[in-house]
Amino acid sequence: MRAGETNRHLTGWLLASPLTLVLIFFLVLPIAMIVVVSFWQATEFSIIPAFSWENYDFLFGSPVTYRVFGNTIKYALIVWVFTLGIGFTVAYFLAFHVRTQTWQIALFLLCTIPFWTSNIIRMISWIPFLGRNGLANSALISAGITDEPLDWLLYSDFSVILAFVHLYTLFMVVPIFNTMMRIDKSLIEAAYDGGASGFQTLTNVIIPLCKPGIMIGTIFVVTLVMGDFVTVRFMSGSQSANVGRLIQNDIALLQYPSASATAVVLLVTVLMVIGILLRFVDIRKEL
């Protein structure tokens, strides 16, 4: 009996060892390295392994930090609201209004295809759409809605958020659709039989049962938006910044200790958000 026990743990670890090794070498050690380097000093040419609070002093003493973190959280919240609204509606349509499984799979695949192409290509494809001479402006002018091209369509918070929603809504659709497909349809019938209206069924039955999917989608969207630096750079025309951009700027200037300190603060923020979200859902049970 005892031998069987040891055997089980040993087999488990043997099978999981490649996974564990990759994660230790390319996740745990690098994060530890970032934490260490965040306490180092830097000159213009090199980084010096000497302990100092300098980077954090500078980071927390600078008004830019607070503005940029504020901006990061603003993007995350707005994008979350939109992706949740759109993602839930799309998943609801697929799960409850499309009747045959073949159609469900076909329409679902149709949603996932754009996801398989390069993010950067999908970002730059907004430029001919939103630019001064873009399709959106020509359409608005010829419809007589505006006289002049709208400048805020591209290189603005608007275009940043639009691109985020475009890139990440699918991360909301997939987990919500997944939980919806597992809802026992008789529960919904029971709600109707009990005299609930469509809206009451939605708020009292479907939404509570979809909570795990919503949480998993939220975790994806929030972490992707908070860590992003490419979308913000492209779509704001380098006019707005979030934390990712701040880190990237430091890296470009070879200020690794300062980049690391910002990275540590970002990491702590993200892990805190995840920690709170995980209180609402047992992720292992949902797989």
Report the residue number, 137 or 157, with the smaller CB distance to another protein: 137
Residues 229-248 that bind another protein (CB under 8 A): 229-230, 234, 244, 247-248
Residues 246-275 that bind another protein (CB under 8 A): 247-248, 251, 256, 259-260, 263, 266-267, 270-271, 274
Closest CB 49 distance from another protein, rounded Å: 9
Instruction: Enumerate the H helices of 93-206 as residue ranges.
Output: 101-112, 119-124, 127-130, 135-142, 157-181, 185-193, 198-201
Instruction: Enumerate the H helices of 228-255 as residue ranges.
Output: 230-236, 243-252
Task: Report the alpha-carbon angle 220-160-79, nearest 5.
Answer: 35
* Other CB atoms within 10 A of residue 96 CB: 15
Residues 41-60 that bind another protein (CB under 8 A): none
Closest CB 131 distance from another protein, rounded Å: 6
Residues 206-225 that bind another protein (CB under 8 A): 219-220, 223
CA distances to 63, 76, 84, 111 from 221, rounded to whole Å, are 27, 8, 9, 17
| Binding status of residue 280 toward another protein by CB under 8 A | no
Residues 69-128 that bind another protein (CB under 8 A): 86, 89-90, 92-94, 97, 107, 110-111, 113-114, 116-122, 124-128
What are residue 41's DSSP bridge partners?
48
Residues binding another protein: what is the number (CB under 8 A)? Answer: 81
The interface mask with another protein, positions 130-149, x = CB under 8 A, is -x-xxx--x-----------
**Residue 84, helix vs strand vs coil:** helix
What are residue 48's DSSP bridge partners?
41
1, 3, 19, 145: residue in contact with another protein (rule CB under 8 A): 19
